[in-house]
Chain A
Amino acid sequence: METIIRTSGLTKIYGTQKAVDNLAMHVKQGQIYGFLGQNGAGKTTTIRMLLGLIKPTDGQIEIFGENLLARQKEILRRVGSIVEFSGFYMNLTASENLLVNARLMGVHKRRAIDEALEIVGLQHETKKRVGKYSLGMKQRLGIARAILHHPELLILDEPTNGLDPIGIKEIRKLIRSLAEERKITILISTHILSEIEQLADVIGIVHQGRLLEELEMEDLGKRNRKYVEFHVSNDNKAAMLLEQYFHTYDYEVQGEGIIRVYSHIGQQSGINKLFVESGIEVSGIAMSENKLEDYFVQLIGGGTIG
Protein backbone atom coordinates (compact mmCIF):
# COMPACT_ATOMS: atom_id res chain seq x y z
CA MET A 1 0.00 0.00 0.00
CA GLU A 2 1.37 3.42 -0.95
CA THR A 3 2.33 5.74 1.88
CA ILE A 4 0.43 9.00 1.49
CA ILE A 5 1.88 10.89 4.46
CA ARG A 6 5.33 10.23 5.79
CA THR A 7 7.08 12.46 8.28
CA SER A 8 10.53 11.94 9.69
CA GLY A 9 12.18 13.79 12.53
CA LEU A 10 9.36 16.33 12.44
CA THR A 11 10.00 18.87 15.17
CA LYS A 12 8.52 22.21 16.15
CA ILE A 13 10.05 24.25 18.93
CA TYR A 14 8.46 27.36 20.42
CA GLY A 15 11.06 29.10 22.55
CA THR A 16 12.32 26.34 24.78
CA GLN A 17 9.27 24.13 24.45
CA LYS A 18 9.09 21.28 21.99
CA ALA A 19 5.52 21.21 20.72
CA VAL A 20 6.33 18.36 18.33
CA ASP A 21 9.34 16.18 18.93
CA ASN A 22 10.97 14.01 16.27
CA LEU A 23 7.64 12.72 15.00
CA ALA A 24 7.56 9.93 12.41
CA MET A 25 4.08 9.34 11.02
CA HIS A 26 3.03 6.96 8.26
CA VAL A 27 -0.43 7.18 6.71
CA LYS A 28 -1.15 4.66 4.00
CA GLN A 29 -3.50 4.97 1.05
CA GLY A 30 -7.15 4.29 1.78
CA GLN A 31 -6.69 4.28 5.53
CA ILE A 32 -8.54 6.23 8.16
CA TYR A 33 -5.68 7.22 10.42
CA GLY A 34 -6.69 8.29 13.90
CA PHE A 35 -4.26 10.76 15.41
CA LEU A 36 -4.97 10.42 19.10
CA GLY A 37 -3.66 12.41 22.00
CA GLN A 38 -4.60 14.59 24.92
CA ASN A 39 -5.26 18.29 24.47
CA GLY A 40 -1.89 19.99 23.99
CA ALA A 41 -0.18 16.77 22.91
CA GLY A 42 0.93 18.31 19.62
CA LYS A 43 -1.81 17.11 17.27
CA THR A 44 -2.87 20.50 15.92
CA THR A 45 0.72 21.71 15.54
CA THR A 46 1.52 18.56 13.55
CA ILE A 47 -1.53 18.96 11.35
CA ARG A 48 -0.77 22.62 10.72
CA MET A 49 2.73 21.63 9.67
CA LEU A 50 1.25 19.01 7.30
CA LEU A 51 -0.85 21.77 5.75
CA GLY A 52 1.98 24.27 5.45
CA LEU A 53 0.43 26.66 7.96
CA ILE A 54 3.33 26.29 10.37
CA LYS A 55 6.94 25.86 9.35
CA PRO A 56 8.72 22.95 11.05
CA THR A 57 11.81 23.70 13.08
CA ASP A 58 13.30 20.49 11.76
CA GLY A 59 12.37 17.31 9.92
CA GLN A 60 10.78 16.24 6.66
CA ILE A 61 7.21 15.97 5.45
CA GLU A 62 6.37 13.90 2.42
CA ILE A 63 2.84 13.82 1.07
CA PHE A 64 2.04 11.72 -2.01
CA GLY A 65 5.77 10.87 -2.05
CA GLU A 66 6.81 14.48 -2.55
CA ASN A 67 8.48 16.96 -0.25
CA LEU A 68 5.85 19.33 1.12
CA LEU A 69 8.09 22.35 1.48
CA ALA A 70 9.34 22.02 -2.10
CA ARG A 71 5.98 21.36 -3.76
CA GLN A 72 3.44 22.74 -1.31
CA LYS A 73 1.14 24.27 -3.91
CA GLU A 74 0.83 21.11 -6.02
CA ILE A 75 0.43 18.86 -2.99
CA LEU A 76 -2.17 20.93 -1.17
CA ARG A 77 -4.36 21.04 -4.29
CA ARG A 78 -4.89 17.31 -3.74
CA VAL A 79 -5.71 17.73 -0.04
CA GLY A 80 -8.89 18.80 1.74
CA SER A 81 -8.77 19.93 5.33
CA ILE A 82 -10.51 21.19 8.42
CA VAL A 83 -8.34 22.72 11.10
CA GLU A 84 -10.20 22.84 14.40
CA PHE A 85 -13.28 25.05 14.00
CA SER A 86 -14.11 25.92 10.42
CA GLY A 87 -13.99 29.63 9.69
CA PHE A 88 -16.45 31.14 7.23
CA TYR A 89 -17.51 34.51 5.91
CA MET A 90 -20.57 35.03 8.05
CA ASN A 91 -22.25 37.48 5.66
CA LEU A 92 -22.21 34.92 2.85
CA THR A 93 -24.43 31.88 2.31
CA ALA A 94 -23.09 28.32 2.28
CA SER A 95 -22.97 28.30 -1.54
CA GLU A 96 -21.16 31.63 -1.63
CA ASN A 97 -18.63 30.45 0.91
CA LEU A 98 -17.97 27.37 -1.21
CA LEU A 99 -17.80 29.55 -4.31
CA VAL A 100 -14.79 31.33 -2.78
CA ASN A 101 -12.97 28.00 -2.59
CA ALA A 102 -14.23 26.79 -5.95
CA ARG A 103 -12.92 29.88 -7.72
CA LEU A 104 -9.55 29.75 -6.02
CA MET A 105 -9.15 26.02 -6.59
CA GLY A 106 -10.20 26.17 -10.21
CA VAL A 107 -13.31 24.03 -9.69
CA HIS A 108 -15.41 25.05 -12.67
CA LYS A 109 -18.00 22.28 -12.63
CA ARG A 110 -21.35 23.98 -12.14
CA ARG A 111 -22.83 21.30 -9.91
CA ALA A 112 -19.72 20.86 -7.72
CA ILE A 113 -20.99 23.15 -4.96
CA ASP A 114 -24.49 21.61 -4.93
CA GLU A 115 -23.02 18.11 -4.88
CA ALA A 116 -20.74 18.92 -1.94
CA LEU A 117 -23.67 20.42 -0.04
CA GLU A 118 -25.81 17.38 -0.82
CA ILE A 119 -23.17 15.01 0.53
CA VAL A 120 -23.17 16.78 3.89
CA GLY A 121 -26.95 17.25 3.90
CA LEU A 122 -26.98 21.03 3.62
CA GLN A 123 -28.67 21.25 0.21
CA HIS A 124 -31.77 22.86 1.71
CA GLU A 125 -29.88 25.50 3.69
CA THR A 126 -28.19 27.30 0.82
CA LYS A 127 -30.03 30.62 1.18
CA LYS A 128 -29.27 31.07 4.87
CA ARG A 129 -26.24 33.13 5.82
CA VAL A 130 -23.56 31.05 7.50
CA GLY A 131 -23.63 33.44 10.45
CA LYS A 132 -26.99 31.89 11.31
CA TYR A 133 -25.76 28.30 11.10
CA SER A 134 -25.40 26.09 14.18
CA LEU A 135 -21.97 24.74 15.09
CA GLY A 136 -22.87 21.32 13.69
CA MET A 137 -23.97 22.84 10.39
CA LYS A 138 -20.76 24.83 10.19
CA GLN A 139 -18.69 21.69 10.75
CA ARG A 140 -20.64 19.90 8.02
CA LEU A 141 -20.13 22.87 5.74
CA GLY A 142 -16.43 22.64 6.60
CA ILE A 143 -16.43 19.07 5.33
CA ALA A 144 -18.30 20.13 2.19
CA ARG A 145 -15.62 22.73 1.58
CA ALA A 146 -12.89 20.17 2.20
CA ILE A 147 -14.28 17.71 -0.35
CA LEU A 148 -15.38 20.26 -2.94
CA HIS A 149 -12.39 19.61 -5.21
CA HIS A 150 -12.43 15.80 -4.80
CA PRO A 151 -9.25 15.51 -2.75
CA GLU A 152 -7.31 12.28 -2.44
CA LEU A 153 -6.43 13.07 1.17
CA LEU A 154 -8.56 14.61 3.90
CA ILE A 155 -6.89 16.06 6.98
CA LEU A 156 -9.40 16.72 9.72
CA ASP A 157 -8.32 18.27 12.98
CA GLU A 158 -10.85 17.63 15.73
CA PRO A 159 -13.82 17.80 13.32
CA THR A 160 -16.32 16.97 16.05
CA ASN A 161 -15.16 19.68 18.43
CA GLY A 162 -18.07 21.24 20.25
CA LEU A 163 -20.71 19.01 18.66
CA ASP A 164 -23.49 17.26 20.53
CA PRO A 165 -23.67 13.43 20.47
CA ILE A 166 -26.02 13.40 17.47
CA GLY A 167 -23.76 15.78 15.60
CA ILE A 168 -20.74 13.63 16.41
CA LYS A 169 -22.52 10.55 15.12
CA GLU A 170 -23.48 12.32 11.89
CA ILE A 171 -19.94 13.51 11.24
CA ARG A 172 -18.56 10.06 12.01
CA LYS A 173 -20.98 8.49 9.54
CA LEU A 174 -20.04 11.07 6.94
CA ILE A 175 -16.32 10.46 7.35
CA ARG A 176 -16.83 6.72 7.11
CA SER A 177 -18.84 7.07 3.92
CA LEU A 178 -16.22 9.35 2.37
CA ALA A 179 -13.55 6.77 3.04
CA GLU A 180 -15.63 3.87 1.76
CA GLU A 181 -17.41 5.43 -1.20
CA ARG A 182 -14.83 7.91 -2.42
CA LYS A 183 -11.75 5.96 -1.35
CA ILE A 184 -10.27 9.04 0.29
CA THR A 185 -7.37 8.60 2.68
CA ILE A 186 -8.29 10.33 5.91
CA LEU A 187 -6.17 11.63 8.75
CA ILE A 188 -8.35 12.59 11.68
CA SER A 189 -7.10 13.96 14.95
CA THR A 190 -9.02 13.75 18.18
CA HIS A 191 -8.63 13.51 21.92
CA ILE A 192 -11.77 11.41 22.22
CA LEU A 193 -10.90 7.74 22.36
CA SER A 194 -14.40 6.43 21.76
CA GLU A 195 -14.69 8.52 18.61
CA ILE A 196 -11.59 7.16 16.98
CA GLU A 197 -12.20 3.61 18.15
CA GLN A 198 -15.24 3.35 15.90
CA LEU A 199 -13.69 5.01 12.91
CA ALA A 200 -10.00 4.44 12.45
CA ASP A 201 -8.10 1.65 10.73
CA VAL A 202 -4.83 2.77 12.29
CA ILE A 203 -4.14 4.82 15.38
CA GLY A 204 -1.14 7.01 16.04
CA ILE A 205 -0.79 7.96 19.67
CA VAL A 206 0.89 11.28 20.34
CA HIS A 207 1.92 12.47 23.76
CA GLN A 208 3.97 15.51 24.71
CA GLY A 209 4.82 16.04 21.06
CA ARG A 210 6.11 12.52 20.49
CA LEU A 211 4.46 9.78 18.49
CA LEU A 212 4.50 6.88 20.92
CA GLU A 213 3.02 4.21 18.73
CA GLU A 214 1.26 3.53 15.45
CA LEU A 215 -0.90 0.47 15.54
CA GLU A 216 -3.58 -1.15 13.45
CA MET A 217 -6.99 -1.31 15.05
CA GLU A 218 -7.05 -5.00 14.22
CA ASP A 219 -3.97 -5.56 16.40
CA LEU A 220 -5.45 -3.40 19.06
CA GLY A 221 -8.65 -5.46 18.87
CA LYS A 222 -6.67 -8.62 19.51
CA ARG A 223 -5.07 -7.04 22.53
CA ASN A 224 -8.44 -5.92 23.67
CA ARG A 225 -10.52 -9.04 23.16
CA LYS A 226 -13.24 -9.60 25.69
CA TYR A 227 -12.80 -12.56 27.99
CA VAL A 228 -14.03 -14.14 31.18
CA GLU A 229 -11.33 -14.84 33.72
CA PHE A 230 -11.67 -17.76 36.09
CA HIS A 231 -9.57 -18.23 39.21
CA VAL A 232 -9.53 -22.00 39.64
CA SER A 233 -7.84 -24.59 41.77
CA ASN A 234 -6.72 -26.67 38.77
CA ASP A 235 -6.12 -24.82 35.50
CA ASN A 236 -5.03 -27.96 33.59
CA LYS A 237 -8.24 -29.73 34.33
CA ALA A 238 -10.24 -26.56 33.62
CA ALA A 239 -8.60 -26.25 30.20
CA MET A 240 -9.32 -29.86 29.40
CA LEU A 241 -12.99 -29.44 30.38
CA LEU A 242 -13.31 -26.36 28.17
CA GLU A 243 -12.00 -28.28 25.18
CA GLN A 244 -14.08 -31.36 25.92
CA TYR A 245 -17.44 -29.79 26.75
CA PHE A 246 -17.37 -26.40 25.09
CA HIS A 247 -15.21 -27.43 22.12
CA THR A 248 -13.08 -24.33 22.40
CA TYR A 249 -9.36 -23.76 22.27
CA ASP A 250 -9.79 -20.02 22.50
CA TYR A 251 -8.49 -19.62 26.01
CA GLU A 252 -5.24 -18.75 27.74
CA VAL A 253 -3.78 -19.94 30.99
CA GLN A 254 -2.45 -16.71 32.44
CA GLY A 255 -0.65 -18.09 35.42
CA GLU A 256 -1.18 -20.63 38.08
CA GLY A 257 -4.92 -20.97 38.61
CA ILE A 258 -5.93 -18.23 36.20
CA ILE A 259 -7.57 -19.05 32.91
CA ARG A 260 -9.03 -16.59 30.42
CA VAL A 261 -11.78 -17.77 28.11
CA TYR A 262 -12.24 -15.65 24.98
CA SER A 263 -15.17 -17.55 23.52
CA HIS A 264 -18.59 -18.32 25.02
CA ILE A 265 -18.91 -14.83 26.52
CA GLY A 266 -22.18 -14.80 28.43
CA GLN A 267 -21.97 -18.47 29.30
CA GLN A 268 -19.77 -18.01 32.34
CA SER A 269 -22.39 -19.50 34.64
CA GLY A 270 -22.44 -22.72 32.57
CA ILE A 271 -18.65 -22.91 32.55
CA ASN A 272 -18.60 -22.25 36.29
CA LYS A 273 -21.16 -25.00 36.87
CA LEU A 274 -19.09 -27.45 34.84
CA PHE A 275 -15.93 -26.61 36.77
CA VAL A 276 -17.62 -26.95 40.15
CA GLU A 277 -19.38 -30.21 39.25
CA SER A 278 -16.03 -31.56 38.04
CA GLY A 279 -14.46 -30.86 41.43
CA ILE A 280 -12.62 -27.66 40.55
CA GLU A 281 -12.82 -24.90 43.11
CA VAL A 282 -13.67 -21.56 41.52
CA SER A 283 -12.54 -18.70 43.73
CA GLY A 284 -13.34 -15.88 41.34
CA ILE A 285 -14.91 -14.96 38.02
CA ALA A 286 -14.29 -11.61 36.33
CA MET A 287 -15.36 -10.10 33.03
CA SER A 288 -12.73 -8.10 31.15
CA GLU A 289 -13.30 -4.35 31.28
CA ASN A 290 -12.43 -1.75 28.66
CA LYS A 291 -8.74 -2.44 28.46
CA LEU A 292 -8.35 -0.17 25.43
CA GLU A 293 -8.43 2.97 27.48
CA ASP A 294 -6.16 1.34 30.04
CA TYR A 295 -3.76 0.58 27.24
CA PHE A 296 -3.56 4.21 26.19
CA VAL A 297 -3.27 5.45 29.72
CA GLN A 298 -0.47 2.99 30.34
CA LEU A 299 1.24 4.09 27.15
CA ILE A 300 1.18 7.78 27.98
CA GLY A 301 2.17 7.10 31.56
CA GLY A 302 -0.97 8.10 33.41
CA GLY A 303 -3.69 10.67 32.98
CA THR A 304 -6.69 10.22 30.75
CA ILE A 305 -7.66 10.60 27.14
CA GLY A 306 -10.99 12.09 26.23
Chain B
Amino acid sequence: MVNLLYTELLKLKRAKMLLVSLIGASAAPLMVFIGFLDLKVKKPDSAVHYEEVFYNTNLYVLLLIGTLLYGVITAYIFNREHEEDTLKNLLTIPVSRTGLIVSKLVLLFFWIMLLTIAAWALTLALGLIGQFEGLSAGVLLTSFKQFIIGGSLLFLLSTPTMFITFLFRNYVPTIIFTAAITMGNVALANREYKALNPWSAVQVIANYEPVPQYPLYYSYIAILLVAAAGFLATVIYFRRLDIQ
Protein backbone atom coordinates (compact mmCIF):
# COMPACT_ATOMS: atom_id res chain seq x y z
CA MET B 1 0.00 0.00 0.00
CA VAL B 2 2.89 2.38 0.75
CA ASN B 3 4.26 1.80 -2.76
CA LEU B 4 0.82 2.29 -4.29
CA LEU B 5 0.42 5.56 -2.41
CA TYR B 6 3.90 6.68 -3.42
CA THR B 7 3.12 6.04 -7.08
CA GLU B 8 -0.24 7.80 -6.79
CA LEU B 9 1.59 10.87 -5.50
CA LEU B 10 4.26 10.53 -8.20
CA LYS B 11 1.58 10.54 -10.88
CA LEU B 12 0.57 14.02 -9.73
CA LYS B 13 4.02 15.44 -10.43
CA ARG B 14 3.69 18.40 -12.81
CA ALA B 15 -0.06 17.74 -13.03
CA LYS B 16 -1.85 21.05 -13.37
CA MET B 17 -4.95 19.67 -11.70
CA LEU B 18 -3.52 20.26 -8.22
CA LEU B 19 -3.11 23.98 -8.87
CA VAL B 20 -6.47 24.19 -10.62
CA SER B 21 -8.16 22.55 -7.64
CA LEU B 22 -6.46 24.96 -5.22
CA ILE B 23 -7.77 27.87 -7.27
CA GLY B 24 -11.20 26.22 -7.19
CA ALA B 25 -11.02 25.79 -3.43
CA SER B 26 -10.21 29.46 -2.97
CA ALA B 27 -13.50 30.47 -4.61
CA ALA B 28 -15.61 30.10 -1.48
CA PRO B 29 -13.35 32.14 0.85
CA LEU B 30 -13.00 34.84 -1.82
CA MET B 31 -16.75 35.03 -2.49
CA VAL B 32 -17.55 35.31 1.21
CA PHE B 33 -14.77 37.84 1.75
CA ILE B 34 -16.05 40.02 -1.10
CA GLY B 35 -19.58 39.72 0.28
CA PHE B 36 -18.54 40.91 3.73
CA LEU B 37 -16.37 43.68 2.34
CA ASP B 38 -19.39 44.89 0.41
CA LEU B 39 -21.39 44.81 3.64
CA LYS B 40 -18.72 46.84 5.39
CA VAL B 41 -18.77 49.41 2.62
CA LYS B 42 -22.55 49.70 2.78
CA LYS B 43 -22.77 49.58 6.57
CA PRO B 44 -19.46 50.88 7.95
CA ASP B 45 -20.68 50.64 11.54
CA SER B 46 -21.53 46.94 11.40
CA ALA B 47 -18.82 44.53 12.55
CA VAL B 48 -17.87 41.44 10.63
CA HIS B 49 -17.12 38.49 12.92
CA TYR B 50 -14.77 35.71 12.14
CA GLU B 51 -17.23 33.12 13.38
CA GLU B 52 -19.75 34.25 10.80
CA VAL B 53 -17.18 34.34 8.02
CA PHE B 54 -15.95 30.82 8.75
CA TYR B 55 -19.53 29.54 8.98
CA ASN B 56 -20.54 31.06 5.65
CA THR B 57 -17.39 29.88 3.90
CA ASN B 58 -17.89 26.34 5.13
CA LEU B 59 -21.52 26.47 4.06
CA TYR B 60 -20.52 27.40 0.50
CA VAL B 61 -17.84 24.73 0.47
CA LEU B 62 -20.12 21.95 1.74
CA LEU B 63 -23.23 22.74 -0.24
CA LEU B 64 -21.92 24.23 -3.45
CA ILE B 65 -18.28 24.29 -4.43
CA GLY B 66 -17.06 21.25 -2.51
CA THR B 67 -19.56 18.87 -4.03
CA LEU B 68 -18.66 19.97 -7.54
CA LEU B 69 -14.92 20.38 -7.03
CA TYR B 70 -14.38 17.15 -5.13
CA GLY B 71 -16.51 15.37 -7.72
CA VAL B 72 -14.25 16.60 -10.51
CA ILE B 73 -11.14 15.56 -8.54
CA THR B 74 -12.67 12.12 -7.95
CA ALA B 75 -13.32 11.78 -11.67
CA TYR B 76 -9.77 12.93 -12.44
CA ILE B 77 -8.14 10.44 -10.07
CA PHE B 78 -10.22 7.46 -11.11
CA ASN B 79 -10.72 8.19 -14.80
CA ARG B 80 -7.10 9.03 -15.48
CA GLU B 81 -5.95 5.42 -15.79
CA HIS B 82 -8.66 4.82 -18.39
CA GLU B 83 -8.00 8.05 -20.23
CA GLU B 84 -4.22 7.59 -20.42
CA ASP B 85 -4.63 3.85 -21.04
CA THR B 86 -2.39 2.96 -18.10
CA LEU B 87 -4.83 0.67 -16.33
CA LYS B 88 -3.83 -2.43 -18.27
CA ASN B 89 -0.20 -1.82 -17.32
CA LEU B 90 -1.03 -1.49 -13.62
CA LEU B 91 -3.21 -4.58 -13.57
CA THR B 92 -0.60 -6.73 -15.31
CA ILE B 93 2.16 -5.73 -12.85
CA PRO B 94 -0.04 -7.00 -11.12
CA VAL B 95 -1.72 -4.56 -8.77
CA SER B 96 -4.80 -5.71 -6.87
CA ARG B 97 -7.92 -4.04 -8.18
CA THR B 98 -9.26 -3.37 -4.69
CA GLY B 99 -5.83 -2.14 -3.60
CA LEU B 100 -5.78 0.29 -6.50
CA ILE B 101 -9.20 1.71 -5.54
CA VAL B 102 -8.19 2.03 -1.88
CA SER B 103 -4.89 3.78 -2.69
CA LYS B 104 -6.72 6.25 -4.90
CA LEU B 105 -9.27 6.86 -2.17
CA VAL B 106 -6.48 7.59 0.30
CA LEU B 107 -5.00 10.06 -2.17
CA LEU B 108 -8.45 11.61 -2.64
CA PHE B 109 -8.84 11.97 1.12
CA PHE B 110 -5.53 13.83 1.44
CA TRP B 111 -6.36 15.97 -1.56
CA ILE B 112 -9.77 16.95 -0.12
CA MET B 113 -8.14 17.66 3.23
CA LEU B 114 -5.53 19.84 1.54
CA LEU B 115 -8.24 21.86 -0.21
CA THR B 116 -10.31 22.05 2.96
CA ILE B 117 -7.36 23.34 4.98
CA ALA B 118 -6.44 25.71 2.16
CA ALA B 119 -9.98 27.15 2.18
CA TRP B 120 -9.87 27.52 5.95
CA ALA B 121 -6.41 29.14 5.91
CA LEU B 122 -7.43 31.53 3.14
CA THR B 123 -10.53 32.52 5.08
CA LEU B 124 -8.32 33.29 8.05
CA ALA B 125 -5.81 35.24 5.94
CA LEU B 126 -8.50 37.26 4.17
CA GLY B 127 -10.08 38.02 7.53
CA LEU B 128 -6.80 39.46 8.74
CA ILE B 129 -6.63 41.63 5.63
CA GLY B 130 -10.25 42.73 6.11
CA GLN B 131 -9.69 43.25 9.84
CA PHE B 132 -12.63 41.07 10.83
CA GLU B 133 -13.41 40.85 14.51
CA GLY B 134 -13.73 38.12 17.08
CA LEU B 135 -10.64 36.10 16.29
CA SER B 136 -9.92 33.72 19.13
CA ALA B 137 -8.46 30.28 19.70
CA GLY B 138 -11.96 28.96 20.32
CA VAL B 139 -13.26 30.31 17.01
CA LEU B 140 -10.27 28.95 15.16
CA LEU B 141 -10.56 25.50 16.72
CA THR B 142 -14.32 25.22 16.24
CA SER B 143 -14.20 26.40 12.65
CA PHE B 144 -11.25 24.14 11.85
CA LYS B 145 -13.14 21.18 13.32
CA GLN B 146 -16.22 22.06 11.26
CA PHE B 147 -14.18 22.35 8.07
CA ILE B 148 -12.40 19.03 8.69
CA ILE B 149 -15.59 17.14 9.60
CA GLY B 150 -17.33 18.54 6.55
CA GLY B 151 -14.43 17.66 4.25
CA SER B 152 -14.18 14.15 5.68
CA LEU B 153 -17.89 13.50 5.21
CA LEU B 154 -17.77 14.83 1.67
CA PHE B 155 -14.87 12.47 1.09
CA LEU B 156 -17.03 9.55 2.24
CA LEU B 157 -19.68 10.68 -0.21
CA SER B 158 -17.24 10.58 -3.10
CA THR B 159 -17.83 6.83 -3.54
CA PRO B 160 -21.00 7.17 -5.66
CA THR B 161 -19.12 9.66 -7.85
CA MET B 162 -16.29 7.14 -8.08
CA PHE B 163 -18.76 4.46 -9.19
CA ILE B 164 -20.22 6.70 -11.89
CA THR B 165 -16.70 7.47 -13.11
CA PHE B 166 -15.91 3.75 -13.40
CA LEU B 167 -19.24 3.04 -15.04
CA PHE B 168 -19.04 5.68 -17.77
CA ARG B 169 -15.25 6.24 -17.95
CA ASN B 170 -15.92 9.84 -18.79
CA TYR B 171 -15.94 13.19 -17.00
CA VAL B 172 -19.28 14.38 -18.37
CA PRO B 173 -21.66 12.03 -16.48
CA THR B 174 -19.71 12.72 -13.29
CA ILE B 175 -20.05 16.47 -13.73
CA ILE B 176 -23.78 16.12 -14.45
CA PHE B 177 -24.15 13.93 -11.36
CA THR B 178 -22.35 16.38 -9.06
CA ALA B 179 -24.26 19.32 -10.57
CA ALA B 180 -27.53 17.51 -9.80
CA ILE B 181 -26.38 16.90 -6.24
CA THR B 182 -25.49 20.56 -5.83
CA MET B 183 -28.92 21.57 -7.07
CA GLY B 184 -30.47 19.15 -4.58
CA ASN B 185 -28.41 20.73 -1.80
CA VAL B 186 -29.67 24.19 -2.72
CA ALA B 187 -33.26 23.02 -3.00
CA LEU B 188 -33.18 21.37 0.43
CA ALA B 189 -31.04 23.99 2.19
CA ASN B 190 -33.98 25.43 4.17
CA ARG B 191 -36.07 22.31 4.51
CA GLU B 192 -36.05 19.61 7.16
CA TYR B 193 -35.24 16.96 4.52
CA LYS B 194 -31.72 18.30 4.35
CA ALA B 195 -30.99 16.00 7.28
CA LEU B 196 -31.89 12.98 5.17
CA ASN B 197 -30.19 13.91 1.90
CA PRO B 198 -26.61 12.63 2.48
CA TRP B 199 -24.93 15.57 0.74
CA SER B 200 -26.84 18.29 2.62
CA ALA B 201 -26.68 16.20 5.81
CA VAL B 202 -22.93 16.86 5.77
CA GLN B 203 -23.59 20.49 6.64
CA VAL B 204 -26.12 19.46 9.32
CA ILE B 205 -23.47 17.31 11.01
CA ALA B 206 -20.44 19.52 10.47
CA ASN B 207 -22.09 22.65 11.84
CA TYR B 208 -24.19 20.71 14.34
CA GLU B 209 -27.56 21.97 13.13
CA PRO B 210 -29.93 19.08 13.65
CA VAL B 211 -33.51 19.53 12.46
CA PRO B 212 -36.25 18.79 15.00
CA GLN B 213 -37.98 16.21 12.79
CA TYR B 214 -35.00 13.93 12.26
CA PRO B 215 -32.37 13.06 14.87
CA LEU B 216 -28.75 13.56 13.91
CA TYR B 217 -28.05 9.84 13.63
CA TYR B 218 -30.43 9.75 10.64
CA SER B 219 -27.94 11.98 8.86
CA TYR B 220 -25.02 9.76 9.83
CA ILE B 221 -26.88 6.66 8.63
CA ALA B 222 -27.78 8.33 5.31
CA ILE B 223 -24.15 9.28 4.68
CA LEU B 224 -22.70 5.92 5.70
CA LEU B 225 -25.24 3.96 3.66
CA VAL B 226 -24.53 5.93 0.50
CA ALA B 227 -20.76 5.80 1.09
CA ALA B 228 -20.78 2.04 1.67
CA ALA B 229 -23.07 1.39 -1.29
CA GLY B 230 -20.86 3.46 -3.59
CA PHE B 231 -17.70 1.72 -2.41
CA LEU B 232 -19.12 -1.79 -2.66
CA ALA B 233 -20.69 -1.15 -6.06
CA THR B 234 -17.35 0.15 -7.36
CA VAL B 235 -15.30 -2.74 -5.97
CA ILE B 236 -17.71 -5.38 -7.26
CA TYR B 237 -18.00 -3.72 -10.66
CA PHE B 238 -14.27 -3.11 -11.06
CA ARG B 239 -13.28 -6.59 -9.96
CA ARG B 240 -15.54 -8.07 -12.61
CA LEU B 241 -14.67 -5.59 -15.30
CA ASP B 242 -12.93 -6.84 -18.43
CA ILE B 243 -10.18 -4.39 -19.36
CA GLN B 244 -10.63 -3.79 -23.07
Q: Using CB atoms and an 8 Å cutoff, list the residues of chain A in contact with chain B.
A: 48, 51-55, 72-73, 76-77, 79, 81, 83, 85-92, 96, 99-101, 103-106, 129, 145
Known: A89-B11, A103-B3. 16 other contacts (CB 8 A): A48-B88, A48-B244, A51-B92, A52-B94, A55-B240, A72-B94, A73-B96, A76-B94, A77-B93, A87-B85, A87-B86, A89-B86, A92-B10, A92-B11, A92-B13, A145-B89
* B10, A81: Cβ atoms closer than 8 Å: no
- Bound together, the chains give a CA A248 to CA B6 distance in angstroms of 69
- Measured between C-beta atoms, what is the minimum distance from A302 to chain B in Å? 28
CA distance A59 to B31 in the complex (A): 61
Select from chain B the residue with minimum beta-carbon distance to A80.
Answer: B92
Distance, CA A5 to CA B7, complexed state (A): 31
Q: Which chain A residue lies CB-closest to B6?
A: A103
Interface string of B64-95 (1 = CB under 8 A from A): 00000000000000000000111111111111
CB-CB < 8 A to A73: which residues of B? 94, 96
Answer whether residue B126 sits at the interface, using C-beta atoms and an 8 A cutoff: no
Given the complex of chains A and B, what is the CA–CA distance between A96 and B76 in angstroms? Answer: 20
Task: Identify which of A79, A85, A99, A104 gathers the most chain B CB atoms within 10 Å of its CB.
Answer: A104
Instruction: Say whether B205 faces chain A, with CB atoms less than 8 Å apart.
Output: no
Given contacts A51-B92, A105-B93, contact A91 B14 (CB under 8 A): yes
* Cα(A118)–Cα(B95), bound, Å: 26
Whole-angstrom CA separation of A100 from B242 in the bound complex: 23
What chain A residues lie within 8 Å of B124 (beta carbons)?
A: none
For the A-B complex, the count of residue pairs with Cβ-Cβ distances under 8 Å equals 78
Q: A54-B242, A54-B243, A88-B84 are in contact. Are A101 and B89 (CB under 8 A)?
A: yes
Q: Indicate if B4 sits at the interface (CB-CB under 8 A).
A: yes
Q: Are B7 and A104 in contact (CB under 8 A)?
A: yes
Interface size grouping (class) on chain B: 20 to 34
**8 A-B pairs closest in CB distance:** A87-B85, A53-B243, A87-B86, A54-B242, A76-B94, A91-B14, A103-B3, A100-B7
Contact yes or no, A86 B243, CB < 8 A? no
The reply to whether A55 and B92 contact each other, CB–CB distance below 8 Å, is: no
Closest to B100 in A: A104
Is B10 in contact with A79, judged by CB distance below 8 angstroms?
A: no
In the complex, are the beta carbons of B92 and A53 less than 8 A apart? yes
* CB <8 Å contact, B14 and A129: yes
Chain A residues lying within 8 Å of B89, measured Cβ to Cβ, are 86-87, 101, 145
Contacts of A52 in B (CB 8 A): 91-92, 94
When A53-B242, A89-B86 are in contact, do A76 and B14 touch as well, CB less than 8 Å? no
B95 nearest CB neighbor, chain A only: A104
What separation, in Å, do the CA atoms of A182 and B209 have in the docked complex? 68
Whether A48 and B3, one on each chain, are in contact in the complex, defined by CB atoms closer than 8 angstroms, is no
Q: How far is the CA of A145 from the CA of B86 in the complex (A)?
A: 12
Q: What is the bound-complex CA distance between A267 and B90, given in angstroms?
A: 58
A48-B243, A86-B89 known; A104+B11 contact, CB < 8 A? no
